Amino acid sequence: MKKGIILYVSEGREDLNDWMDLTITKQGLNADELCLATSETELAYGWWYMVTRGMQHIACMRASYDMAGNVVKAEGRPFRLCG
């Protein structure tokens, strides 16, 4: 089963870069696809993106952006949106 995770950035979203390498974060979360969202509209788009890429299990997690380390840190537990 393919797994996708949407990281909802709640802290530091105003400093978030347009493009980031999320390979290490994706591997740490054991996900096939990973995307970032900073609003409800982007969250809905992320869900649609995952569905069109064939993800059977889609979850969302809260995250924060650390500008000093230029890294997105997932926080808490994922909650299932689909699958």
What's residue 4's pLDDT? 95
Classify each residue of 34-69 as buried b or exposed e, where b means 16 or more C-beta atoms within 10 Å of its C-beta. Answer: bbbbbeeebbeebbebbeeeebebbbbbbbebeeee
Region of residue 69 (left: phi > 0; alpha: psi -120 to 50; beta: else): alpha
pLDDT over threshold 90, residue 15: no
For the chain, the structural domain boundaries read 3-69
| Beta-strand pair 57-66/71-82 | antiparallel
pLDDT over threshold 80, residue 82: no
The predicted-structure confidence for 19-61, as pLDDT tens digits, reads as follows: 777 888 888 899 999 999 999 999 999 999 999 999 999 999 9
What's residue 44's pLDDT? 94
